[in-house]
Amino acid sequence: MKFPKPHTLKAIAQLIGCEYVGNEDFPVLGMNEIHVVESGDIVFVDHPKYYDKALQSAATIVLINKNVECPEGKALLISDDPFRDFNKLTNHFKPFQAANSSISESAIIGTNTIIQPNCFIGNNVVIGDNCIIHANVTIYDDAIIGNNVTIHSGSILGASAFYYKNRPEGFDQLVSGGRVVIEDNVDIGALCTIDKGVTGDTTIGAGSKLDNQIQVGHDTVIGKKCLIASQVGIAGCCIIEDEVTIWGQVGTNSGITIGKKAVILGQTGVTKSVQGGKSYFGTPIEESRVKLKELAYVKQIPNIIDQLKNK
């Protein structure tokens, strides 16, 4: 998430009430999670296990809960609770805006696009040309939808990320300030849910087709011309490369990558990243030819036991 204008390190520190290390005029251009940070971004880290990763990332401002040596060319924001202060920044730069109509006045809707009754179109949504948005679809603020997109009834684009910190008093949610981006020629079935990014975009690539009842987690990027069947659950921060086929009731771990033209057979648990151009099955996931051969061997176990008993 980029800020509307550059800010100084001192101004950001004052905004969240923390100390800083670095030139007070050090430029701050935005804030992002570690997997999408760029120069000028703030990244937060609150666990020693990830200190080095954050300090060595592309981010040039690190919001951290320990006074460590500042890497050259970077700046630090020293906070007793980086998670809380990251939320403060999101709420400041991307505050919740209550709606006052079913279709926001700030929404931009393209030529020949049809919006069926009982839809909600949030603030600053952009919908391209020749789209059909069927009844009872909800599109949260800031979503970007391309041309020739069909979204079937009951689907929801832009709900918050499922991202929580476990505190003694209960779970504390990381505030989502990102977007959903749907590229051209995408079809989204009924009752699908696509969560917005925490600070970046959840993206569905051009030409991809989603069946009914699919969940896509925050900051996931689905490539072009992918085919995804019903009841698939894709966790946050996944990368599904181009022309991947995922059959029904597949679930994934967060942060995995499925390579180009891979085929994931039904009811597979994608527990790790897999290469493209191959077919996969089972939990934990394996190449389908290997897994199916293993299952055939398992079926032979009773016969083997009987043969051993009769010896």
Instruction: Copy the structure tokens of residue 310.
Output: 């009769």
The yes-or-no answer on residue 218 being catalytic is yes
What's the CA gap between 290 and 69, in Å, rounded? 49
DSSP for 252-301, written as a single string = E-TT-EE-TT-EE-TT-EE-S-B-SSSEEETTTTEEHHHHHHHHHHHHTH
CA geometry: angle 174, 213, 172, nearest 5 deg: 15
Q: What are the residues whose beta carbons fall under 8 Å from the beta carbon of 98, sequence distance 6 or more?
A: none
What's the CA gap between 203 and 182, in Å, rounded? 6
CA geometry: angle 160, 42, 67, nearest 5 deg: 120
Q: Is 237 strand, coil or helix? A: coil
DSSP for 36-74, written as a single string = G--TTEEEEE-SGGGHHHHHTSS-SEEEESS--PPPTT-
Contact 159, 193 (CB under 8 A): yes
Active-site option among 7, 134, 152, 218: 218
How many CB atoms are closer than 10 A to CB 305? 10
Instruction: Copy the structure tokens of residue 3.
Output: 């800020």
Between helices 9-16 and 82-93, what is the axis angle to 10°?
110
Which residue in this structure is represented by tokens 């905004």?
15
Which residue in this structure is represented by tokens 């952009």?
126
In DSSP terms, 187 is beta-bridged to 150, 209
Residues carrying an active site annotation? 218
